Amino acid sequence: MAAAPEQTDPAELPPERHELLAKVASLYYEDNLTQAEIAARVGVSRSSVSRLLSEARDMGVVHISIRWPADTTGDLSTQLAQHYPGVEVHVVRAGGRGYTQTVEVLGGVAASLLEDKLKDGDVLGISWHTGVYQVAEAFRAARKLGVKVVQLTGSTGVINPVIDGPDLARWLAQILGGQYHYIPAPLIVDSPSTRNALLKDRTISERLEMAYQCNMALVGIGTVFPPLCNLYQLGYLTESQLDDIVEQGGVGEILTYFYDIEGKVLPLPIHERTIGLPLERLRDVPTVIGVAAGKEQAQAIVGALRGGYITCLVIDDEAANKVLAITEQMAGGRDEG
């Protein structure tokens, strides 16, 4: 991971500011409250809580120390990177947090990586996903950039920034001082013929062409685990359809395309009705940051890595341990064969 910025002596802070930073940090790191709960208790916005937590770390109010178990041979990031050369892996300790809090923490890490990697004139493509939302929520740009933020898929039509791509694109563009471009079409339409007709629309085709030109992408890694499968939860898939995807070997989803453990896109009818960047085209993007949390998403992460869709991975240690176990089991199976 990138080296942490040099910390300032907290004694230099005004007492009132020091007190606020310490209170917010204590509620988050010691009491395990979510950023939304802290915002309600302290009386500030959720985005302010994210900035206060970052300031607390930068100013030395919070010191994070990692103690690895005695039987751990090297850190998980290094072990995973050895299996997937060329992939930058960042593993964050879940530390007993729930799923929501874990994704919040991962969002903060991914936001810092994105801020470090972005340059003036970059074209940043984003998908719709809870993890992508948490990156936007945690983002605190130190400088304004002439970045174009491009939506990589059509819209869900749900008025919810956690889910809907246009809101995320607009939000990130405002933070970065850049422009945003969304695809004015549904995420999934009712038939392949409708999809083909929409793809001929000038505005939609121009936005998709812009998505093809992005040099950086931020995507969520979806799972076929029903409680965490966004497409199932939003009603795009029935229970029987999701079961069928699993029976065909489906383990994960990125950009609304389902794939197997080797990263191969499955031949599903839903893909013929999806509007957005084809998953295979993601391999052409130089930098793709993927965010995922929990052992339930481990197979989806393995498939994304083996498919070559991710160049920078941000996950928690529970997911990392499971990914490592699956990867080593698959490697062992090949050796025996």
Q: Give 201's contacts (C-beta < 8 A, 6+ positions apart).
A: 185
Question: What is residue 71's predicted lDDT score, i.e. its pLDDT?
Answer: 34
What are phi and psi for residue 225, nearest 5 degrees?
A: -70, 115
pTM for this structure? Answer: 0.76
How do strand 216-220 and strand 179-181 relate by DSSP bridges? unpaired
What single-letter DSSP state applies at residue 60?
T
Please list the rounded mean pLDDT of every run of 10 residues in the chain (337 residues): 45 80 86 86 87 82 54 66 92 80 85 86 87 75 75 77 66 82 91 96 93 93 91 90 97 96 97 95 95 93 97 93 94 62
Amino acid identity of residue 188, one-letter, is I
Question: What is residue 32's predicted lDDT score, i.e. its pLDDT?
Answer: 79
Question: What is residue 9's predicted lDDT score, i.e. its pLDDT?
Answer: 58
Q: Tokens at residue 295, please?
A: 């052992």
Q: Which helix (H) or strand (E) holds 171?
A: helix 165-176
CA 224 – CA 233 distance, rounded (Å)? 11
CA 240 – CA 320 distance, rounded (Å)? 30
Rg (CA), the chain: 20
Question: What is residue 70's predicted lDDT score, i.e. its pLDDT?
Answer: 36
Question: What is residue 243's predicted lDDT score, i.e. its pLDDT?
Answer: 96
Question: What is residue 73's predicted lDDT score, i.e. its pLDDT?
Answer: 30
CB of 218 closer than 8 Å to CB of 115: no
